[in-house]
Chain A
Amino acid sequence: MAGAFGRRDVLRLAPAAFALLALATPVSQAANDFIILQSTTSTQNSGLFEHILPLFTKKTGIEVRVVAVGTGQALKNAEKGDGDVVLVHSEPDEEKFVADGWGVKRYPVMYNDFIIVGPAADPAKIAGIKQAPEALKKIAEAQAPFASRADDSGTHKAELELWQQAAVNPKASSGSWYLETGSGMGATLNTAAGKQAYALTDRGTWLAFANKDDFKVLVEGDAKLFNQYGVILVNPAKHPNVKAKEGQAFIDWLTGPEGQAAIASYKIDGQQLFFPNARPQS
């Protein structure tokens, strides 16, 4: 039975081959300087980070690793010290974050706006209404389906604020026409599209979203739909592992002329998504 390489030899070699395959898969390592940015899914889904972060890395050599979760989760993660910088859009929560000592200082960075989108059929007839709370009231009265993020995010908190101004408690109808998805913006929009439901979304995510179905922007322009973003350095006094120097470098760049210009230059289909509004540094 000597000589030829037979089937039995394949059996003997197989485990070794498999082990080699496991070890040989290419290893991508970015062992250089990096910071962890806790931010929101809406910002990520808009594509903004892919546009501006490489510019920062090119200038400073510092890589920015983005963990994209809801605003609430981003702030909680930062409280645990699992991030160096947070970039979210819920001013009261951001102020509390700093007041509680978890963050050093809050800097305004940019703003965009929320819009209410819905199916072309528009069962609640809200197209063109100027006041957002009024539109929500009509949706509630018509009991038209509405998809909410319901995930403690900046968008969600803004949405709840608008319901309050409309004097409607949608949670009472949770599960019937008010759909609490508990998910990020994109997942919620997918649900809205699937259920032909209205949704409140930030314009950035909407413009970048690829599953719009026949949906249209129905309500926009209300001052109450203004959405401000803030950036905060996680407090190194509370968590010594925070990379304060690099984190502050990022904040300085983001709120400085180069970062602000980068934000302004990000467009989809010719439309600008975010509007820089950082206060000039003294």
Chain B
Amino acid sequence: MLDLAEAFRAALRQIAILDPQLIEIIALSLRVTLTAVAIATVIGFAVGGILAVYRFPGRGALAATLSALMGLPPVVAGLFIYLLLSNAGPLGVLQLLYTPQAMIIVQVILVIPIVAALTRQTCADLLEEYREQLHSLGASSAQIVTTLLWDGRYRLITAVLAGFGRAIAEVGAVMIVGGNIDHVTRTMTTAIALETSKGNIALALALGMILLAIALAINMALMGITRLASHFAYA
């Protein structure tokens, strides 16, 4: 019978003894997700900002596609990257399959739509307020994009957090392209899946709680910064 209290105790035990395997898994999860979020943020900010500011044919369709891709099932993204990176696939020569790099790539693909769509929304909202004044001041479209991105920097933290949440929590994509290999590509989520399949429910739950705690800590830190910013009317 499932015992949440036991799971909680198991979680504390794992943390208390600083189980090296646990540390390894946490480190890999953070490394993969933080790297992916960093890369996806740079790309997503640019795409979102450009979509909000520039006018070009197909703009609406692109914005709609981006929104739709937010719901891209991670396992589908995983399959797609797997076929690309497989030794039978076009990029097989890169030998990236079953490596953390492959996991980073697939998470970048999952995170970009979220960051881009939310960035686009933030910039579009800001543009409503700023458009005329920036036009009057003589800003070019490119300058408007960078101005809006900087101006909306604290709102954009939320976009980045949303992307982070999606990446740290997903298991399907990293399982397929990473292979859940012990000491190499085993993250918190794939470890949870593995322990569940071994029937170690309590341990799986414990790992889940630890994962949640980490995500919570990162969220609270960044939300705290945003709250601080609103004191200066920067948010």
Note whether A and B contact each other (Cβ less than 8 A): yes
Question: Using Cβ atoms and an 8 Å threshold, which residues of chain B touch A18?
Answer: 222
B55 contacts partner chain A, Cβ-Cβ < 8 Å: no
Tell me, yes or no, whether A241 is within 8 Å of chain B by CB.
yes
Q: Which residues of A contact B183 (CB under 8 A)?
A: 28, 30
Q: How far is the CB of B188 from chain A (nearest CB, A)?
A: 13
B201 at the interface (CB under 8 A from A): yes
Measured CA separation A50–B194 after assembly (Å): 14
Contact A21 B28 (CB under 8 A): no
In chain A, positions 16-51 with a C-beta closer than 8 Å to chain B are 18-19, 21-22, 25-28, 30, 36, 41, 44-45, 50
Q: Measured between alpha carbons, how far is A44 from B182 in the docked complex, in Å?
A: 11
The residue of chain A having its C-beta at the shortest distance from the C-beta of B200 within the complex is A210
Number of A-B contacts (CB under 8 A): 98
Residues of B near A209 (CB, < 8 A) are 198-199
User: Which residues of B lie under 8 Å from residue A10 when comparing CB positions?
Assistant: 225, 228
- Chain B interface size band reads 35 or more
Interface members, chain B 168-226 (any A CB < 8 Å): 179-184, 194, 196-201, 222, 225
From A132-140, A182-190, A221-229, A270-278, the one touching the partner chain is A182-190
Residues of A within 8 A of B143 (CB): none
Are A25 and B30 in contact (CB-based, < 8 A)?
yes
Q: Does B229 contact A (CB under 8 A)?
A: yes
* Closest chain B residue to A66, Cβ basis: B181
Task: Decide yes or no: A80 and B87 within 8 Å by CB, A36-B98, A241-B92 being known contacts.
Answer: yes
Is A82's beta carbon under 8 Å from chain B? yes
A50 to B141 alpha-carbon distance, docked (Å): 58
- How many Å from the CB of A21 to the closest CB on chain B? 7
User: B54: CB under 8 A from chain A?
Assistant: no
In the complex, per-residue mask of A223-238: 1 if CB is within 8 Å of any chain B CB, else 0: 0000000000000000
B27, B34, B199 pick with most chain A CB within 10 angstroms: B199
The reply to whether A67 and B197 contact each other, CB–CB distance below 8 Å, is: no
On chain B, the residues within 8 Å of A36 by CB distance are 98, 179
* Residues of chain A whose beta carbon lies under 8 Å from any beta carbon of chain B: 7-8, 10-11, 14, 18-19, 21-22, 25-28, 30, 36, 41, 44-45, 50, 65-68, 77, 79-82, 183-187, 189-190, 193, 208-212, 239, 241
Sample 29 A-B pairs with CB under 8 A, ordered by A number: A7-B231, A11-B225, A11-B228, A11-B234, A14-B225, A21-B34, A25-B30, A25-B31, A25-B34, A26-B31, A27-B27, A28-B24, A30-B183, A36-B98, A44-B194, A65-B181, A65-B182, A80-B87, A81-B86, A81-B88, A81-B92, A82-B86, A184-B197, A185-B197, A187-B197, A189-B199, A208-B198, A210-B198, A211-B201
Taking Cβ atoms with an 8 Å cutoff, the residues of B that contact A are: 24, 27-28, 30-31, 34-35, 37-38, 86-89, 92, 95, 97-98, 179-184, 194, 196-201, 222, 225, 228-229, 231-232, 234
New contact pairs (14) apart from A28-B28, A239-B88, CB-CB < 8 Å: A7-B231, A18-B222, A19-B38, A25-B34, A50-B182, A65-B182, A81-B86, A82-B88, A82-B97, A183-B197, A186-B199, A189-B199, A193-B199, A210-B200
